[in-house]
Amino acid sequence: MPTGKKETTAAESTASPTHSEAQHEGGRLAWAVGLGCMMRLGILVLFPDIVAHYLSDRVELSTPVTSYKRLREGVYLSAHQIPPFDGGGIFHQSPLLLLMFSALHRLPEIFTTLAYVAADGFVAVTLARISALRRTARSTSSGSSVPGDIVFSCTPSVVAMLYLFNPLTLGTLLVKSTIVFSHVAVAAALYAAAAGRSSAAAVWAAIATHLSVYPAMLLAPIALVSAAAEGGFGHLDRRAGLSKRIATTAAVFAASFGAMHLLFVACYGTQYFTATFDFVLRVEDLQPNVGLFWYFFTEIFDEFRMFFFVVFQLTALAFAVPVSWRFRSEPLFAATMLVGIISALKSYPSWGDLSLFLGLLPLFEELFKYMQYMFLSANLLLYGIGLAPVFWHLWIEQGSGNANFFYAATLVYVFGQITLLFDLGSAMLRRELDIHHPETRTRPVIQD
């Protein structure tokens, strides 16, 4: 139940932030991002041996499709005229990264470090700007707040700080996992959509799809976000413009995806498609990670392999449109839900995927009071994250445990994410009910 103190602050702060506040905010953001980037740069430059010894080989942080070691191998092979995608044995990352790092590796190594740190900083700044856009949209639109909302304690600088100082994000950056660049593309796509620039958003989404296959699911909410941003955040009133907007976004997405595909085929042949997209969809490399796929496909009988990979991938991909449609009044939330679904159910997840999801969560702080299972999901996630390295050590390095220990930790981790997703979704639905049917605000409801 909201306290009296919060009600007064609610009354005060429904007006948009003043100019000096915005300046303070900008200053705090700059400090937060600067500190975060300095910390990363410092650790990478001063303690590379500790990072290499303890973190670089962690399978929870780097997967066969995001590993920096494999990226270096791909760059080396292509520099020595050995086709990097030949046979698809070791290198499974996008040719976009190959081209980028072939250029970067000609420069001294500090430039690669700077590129990674800049990418993380970019994601933090973009998340902060999305949060700022959402704040202004919400404060200007009427009828979308409920008395007792926790108002605006997650300012943009707080959002950036929560993303940058999340240990999962830090760990992902220190191992130089290339999921960082996928986050850059996804964050840029969401920001461009929130700012109403649907073509730019579609191009960024195509880049994100090339970098890691699953952001293709985000096309639906991105189209809706950019449509909503046209008429101000909030309800989608103009149906006629909506279908046209979605069609344009999809067309730009397809065109940019196709153009990049043609470019890569010209550079590396069609083998790259088998080595990247097909590889991710068919889960060929069974290296353990924090997802569900690896142990399942290690133990499944060969006859059922095809059936089950179709089932698993469909479970993840089929929810793109339904989730976007259900939450069409808050399409940015739909995008967050899909980022969460991707993080839980993609074929080669890592803690970095969770870090993006957790980074998008503070944008929806008004939902926190509706969430019922926070303690449970927080605990599940903490157990999953904390125990996975311990069980890995027991299995691989010490030999006194077996694979089931690590598998159990990943089950707990995925279940924690699922609980969080479900909780978040039902919190949003409850809130929508509260907004549209004020009479239910103080009464218990159930789902029918």
Partner 1 sequence: MDNQELRHHYHLFPRQIGEIALQNNVEELHLSFTQGNWRQGSWGYSPVGSQGVGAEVFAWISGATQEESLDKWKGLTNALSGVFCASLNFIGDDNTSMPQLAFNTSARGKRSSSSSSVPERHGVLRHGLLPRENVCTENLTPWVKQLPCQAKSGLGALLNPYRLYNMNFHSMGISLAPAVSAVDDGQTGLVYKQHVTVVLNPHTFGLDRNWTLGELMDRDVDAACPVATSSTVRVVMPESETRVLPKPMRKETLGGQVTYVYDIQKQSASEIRFEFADTTNKKEAQQRLPLVEAHRHVNGHGGGISGGVETEIINRSNQPVDVTYFDTLPWYLRVYLHTLTIEAVNPDGDIFKQHPTQMIFTPAIDRGRPSTIELAVTLPANTRTTLRYNFDKGFIKYTEHPPDANRGFNIGPAIISYRPDTDSSGIDKPLFCALQSSHPSAYFECEVRVYTELFLASLPTPDFSMPYNVITFTCTVLALFFGRIFNLLTRDFAVLKGSD
Residues of this chain that interact with partner 1 (CB under 8 A) are 57, 59, 69, 72-73, 75-77, 80, 82, 86-90, 284-288, 292, 294-302, 312, 315, 319, 322-323, 326, 341, 344-345, 395-399, 402-404, 407, 411, 414-415, 418, 421-422, 425-426, 429-430, 433, 440, 443-448
Cα–Cα distance for residue pair 445/433, rounded to 1 Å: 10
Coil, strand or helix at 335: helix
Token pair of 24 as six digits: 């303070």
Contact call for residues 211 and 178 (beta carbons, < 8 A): yes
CA distance 245 to 442: 38
Sign of CA dihedral 430, 432, 434, 439: negative
Shortest Å distance, C-beta 290 to partner 1: 13
Distance between CA atoms of residues 376 and 318, nearest Å: 27
Give whichever of 264 and 297 is closer to partner 1, judged by the CB atom.
297
Q: Pick the closer one to partner 1 by CB: 241 or 322.
A: 322
Specify the residue, 181 or 294, whose C-beta has the smaller distance to partner 1. Answer: 294
Q: Taking the complex as a whole, how short is the minimal distance between the CB of residue 433 and partner 1, in angstroms?
A: 5
Q: Cβ atoms within 10 A of the Cβ of 91, count?
A: 29
Output the smallest distance, CB 163 to partner 1, in A. 25
CB of 439 to partner 1, least distance (A): 8
Nearer CB in complex with partner 1: 62/126: 62
Query: Token match 């080595």: residue?
Result: 275
Taking the complex as a whole, the smallest distance from the CB of residue 318 to partner 1 amounts, in Å, to 9
Between residues 34 and 438, which has the closer beta carbon with respect to partner 1? 438
Min. distance of Cβ 358 from partner 1 in angstroms?
Answer: 18
Q: Which is nearer to partner 1, 285 or 330 (CB)?
A: 285
Of 49 and 397, which CB lies nearer to partner 1 in the complex structure?
397
Q: How many CB atoms lie within 10 A of CB 19?
A: 7
- The rounded distance, in Å, linking the Cα atoms of 392 and 20 is 51
Please name the residue that has the structure tokens 């969460």.
340
How many Å apart are CA 161 and CA 277, to the nearest integer? 33
Other Cβ atoms closer than 10 A to 300: 13
The whole-angstrom separation of Cα 28 and Cα 21 is 10
CB nearer partner 1, residue 277 or residue 296: 296
Sign of the CA dihedral with 263 first, then 268, 273, and 279 last = negative
CA-CA distance, 205 to 220, in Å (whole number)? Answer: 10
User: Are the CB atoms for 358 and 336 separated by under 8 Å?
Assistant: no
CB of 252 to partner 1, least distance (A): 28
Q: Minimum Å distance from CB 98 to partner 1? A: 13
Least distance from partner 1 to the Cβ atom of residue 33, Å: 33
Which residues, including other chains, have CB under 8 Å from residue 30's CB and lie 6 or more apart? none
Nearer to partner 1, 163 or 312 (CB): 312
Nearest partner of 435 among 368, 386, 366, judged by Cα? 366
